[in-house]
């Protein structure tokens, strides 16, 4: 086994690894207090820049003392770039990979979704709240995360679908690299005791994954998130990680983005994953499902 035990030190506390990261989409976990999180041994909480940008806005959160003051949390927080949510605004497909299965048609507006345009500059999309056009760039994403004040932040990247052809995937990886370099440059101009994780891309293509690791590990990122399409099922996810994990620098932490079901956890920790986030556990709990060692998932009445 390549499983590892570690401690990540942040301005708001220590994160023991390996560990699950609870997802509070709007900086809050429904029906779960921070005290209950701590009692359950959950050190790190995830909040989504996309949702917080649309409501209530990073400026308001900053005026309230950043996310820690806004939600009354003393522990570590990580925010994403907003990219995952933006790219999930395109129409769902039956060929979506494991990381995009949470997309539902009910989240879309109209036949074409809410994503308007993606280019070198960034992304333009419609707000699901009022239809207003919103631009997200590598620079504006980092600036928003500076106002939110999380301990760990993520650069903007593109999330191509699982079924994309190889040439298009390669173009996407290169653009994500350019976006991430711009994000890092903005971050380093005003660090504010925040750490930034690079996002490794390449889909299920081994050569592109290797190239992504080699390029991003040459830049002064503080850790590495594993993103992009990770396969159509858990078996393919584990196969991607089995190839990828030995390539990552051992002296920096890593995070598996958007994956947190039981099978994936059991498959990824022995490969050296430090932290992983997903709405899976809290969503299932809200809907009355219990996870048991002997009977699997059990629906409560």
- Write out the H or E segment, with its range, that includes residue 282: helix 280-286
Q: How many helices (H) and strands (E) does the chain have?
A: 11, 15
**Helices 166-188 & 138-148 angle (0-180, nearest 10):** 50
Q: For residues 113 and 301, what is the distance between their CA atoms, to the nearest angstrom?
A: 36
Distance (Å) of CA 120 to CA 178, 207, 208: 8, 23, 20
* Distance from chain centroid for Cα 87: 12
Among candidate residues 80, 157, 205, 261, the one labeled active-site is 80
Q: Cα separations (Å) of 198 from 155, 156, 176, 192, 296?
A: 7, 9, 10, 17, 35
Residues ≥6 apart with Cβ < 8 Å to 23: 29, 45, 46, 48, 277, 278, 279, 282
Active site residue 277: yes
Q: How far apart are CA 185 and CA 191, in angstroms?
A: 10
Q: Is 80 a catalytic residue?
A: yes
Nearest to 67 by CA among 152, 3, 4: 152
Q: Among 151, 157, 274, 277, which one carries the catalytic annotation?
A: 277
- CA distance linking residue 237 with residue 229, whole number of Å: 9
Got the DSSP string for 224-261?
Answer: EEE-S---SSHHHHHHHHHHHGGGS-TTS-EEETT---
Catalytic residues: 80, 277
């Amino acid at each position: 086994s390549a499983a590892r035990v570690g401690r990540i030190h942040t301005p708001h506390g220590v994160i023991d690894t390996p560990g699950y990261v609870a997802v509070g989409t709007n900086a809050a976990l429904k029906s779960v207090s921070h005290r209950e999180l701590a009692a359950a041994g959950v050190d790190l909480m995830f909040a989504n820049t996309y949702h917080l940008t649309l409501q209530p806005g990073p400026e308001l959160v900053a005026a309230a003392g950043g996310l820690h003051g806004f939600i009354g949390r003393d522990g570590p927080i990580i925010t994403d770039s907003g990219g995952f949510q933006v790219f999930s605004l395109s129409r769902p497909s039956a060929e979506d990979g494991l990381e995009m299965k949470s997309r539902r048609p009910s989240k879309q507006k109209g036949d074409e979704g809410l994503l308007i345009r993606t280019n070198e500059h960034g992304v333009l999309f419609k707000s699901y709240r009022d239809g207003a056009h919103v631009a997200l760039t590598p620079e504006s994403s980092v600036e928003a995360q500076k106002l939110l004040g999380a301990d760990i932040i993520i650069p903007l990247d593109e999330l191509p679908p699982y079924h994309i052809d190889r040439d298009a995937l390669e173009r996407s990886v290169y653009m994500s690299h350019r976006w991430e370099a711009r994000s890092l440059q903005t971050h380093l101009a005003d660090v504010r005791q925040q750490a930034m994780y690079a996002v490794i891309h390449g889909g299920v293509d081994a050569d592109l994954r290797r190239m992504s690791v080699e390029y991003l590990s040459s830049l002064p990122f503080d850790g590495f998130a594993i993103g992009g399409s990770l396969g159509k099922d858990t078996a393919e996810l584990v196969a991607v990680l089995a190839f990828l994990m030995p390539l990552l620098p051992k002296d920096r932490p890593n995070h598996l983005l958007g994956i947190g079901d039981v099978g994936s956890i059991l498959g990824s920790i022995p490969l050296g994953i430090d932290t992983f986030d997903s709405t899976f556990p809290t969503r299932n709990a809200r809907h009355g499902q219990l996870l048991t060692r002997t009977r699997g998932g059990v629906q409560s009445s």
